Structure 1
Amino acid sequence: MAVSRSFPAAGFVRESEMRLGRQLLLALAALPCACDSQADSSYLGEPLITLPGYVASAGAAPLEAAMLWQRGPPPSADDQELATRAPVRTGFPASFTLHLYQPPPAAARRTLAPGEVTFARANAGAVPYGISAGGVSALPTPSSNGAYGIDPNHWVLYLAADVPPRSLTEWWLGAALGAGFHLMRVTAVNPQCISQQQMDACVADLVQRGVPDDGTTNEGTARSFCRAPYRLSLAPPGDPLVLELGTVGLGGSSGPCP
């Protein structure tokens, strides 16, 4: 007759080994997560826009490149807020790459008129190395002339929505651009050089877009927009930012008429 035998001790060992194996697998599964968490602690995410550029004439003082949100009406550049900064690499030219990770603050968001698409604009600038965010808002100052300057020929534009065709904002931008970030070319214009024929055509175009014309150049009227000292156009792909030390605003609009 066969004798039935059991081995409780062996069963306990097998159960303990299985339990230990499961715990080890769980620990190994959690290990990459912990590593990823540590590795990602400084990860800012994908940049909203990346812009390469260089400093046209680097001075003796150490510099940083910065993107500066403009809180005043265009084309002013005297009420600004730091958006991001980047080191300026030594060499010739002194190059940099700006990465923007955060959308514009509420103080920089504006519209050209009620019902128009909300926008924000930023200048790229060379700022003194290590300057605080509060210090940026005070630029330019007499002591910073040799270590501060902007790119007068480009704006970074943020659009909160697609720009409708035949709108004032389309006229201003030169195109019905989509929502998001765009690098714009800024061309200085001398309002004194606008002929009467050009003014009449500009006013007629804006009136058809719903902009009022009362015969004056008061703010918000068609003639005020037509007499703006600049015009915008979309920058071509790969167009670099060029920071000019000592330049603190839009230039070239008061030159002789062609």
Structure 2
Amino acid sequence: MADNRKYRYNEEFNDDFLTDIDDSVDDGIYFENPDDYDDDLDYSTSASKSSSKKSSSDDSSKSNASCKKGTKKLIVKEILSYIKILVIAAVIALIITKFVIINAQVPTGSMENTINVNDRLIGFRLAYIFSEPRRGDIIIFKFPDDEEQNFVKRVIGTPGDVVTISEGKVYVNGEELVEDYIKEAMIDDGTSQTYIVPKDSYFVLGDNRNSSKDSRFWETTSYVTKDEILAKVIFKYYDGENAKPTFSLFSRS
């Protein structure tokens, strides 16, 4: 009898205990919903991905901006480099044309057929630093009657020479010049002229003797001083008669 009661008591106790536990589970006191963790995990992962994408996008934007900035700097550097080269080239060209060579275009036919109208020439400014002009040289010089103009003629008489023009012929120190470069024979005007060339001066004529304003016809003097000589003509690089580039060296005749 006693054993039966004990069994029932224990059974009743166990039922109550189970009931309490079930009630606790139902009330949600001891356990948390695992779905809550999943939601938190998903949210955290999504936020992390979003943050990562944003960071990657920011890095990409910064990288693109940096590349564009670098490209602009490179372009500016290249432009400045070209400008520097052009300035240096311009300065060198200025120095060369001012002190080394002279570029001349001939507007008249006074030197035909050696030099024709609109021919372009290069003269060497330094030709007479260590030497003197010689007979037959073609020179560029300041026109004695108007130094704003430059003339091109051939040297005929040098310092101390006696130049005589008679019967359409030229004589230097009593000897007739053999001139195979003149366009045509000089017209004989029935007169004879004699010139004694002074020191540091030169008597010049055009190769087209019948159409040249040269030492025979100047008003202030009949001579070109060495100081007035700008250059010795070296070559022709443009043929004005045929309107095309050319290259023709001038040698003393």
More helix by share: 2
- TM-score, normalised to structure 1, is 0.32
- Considering only CA atoms, is the larger Rg found in Structure 1 or Structure 2? 2
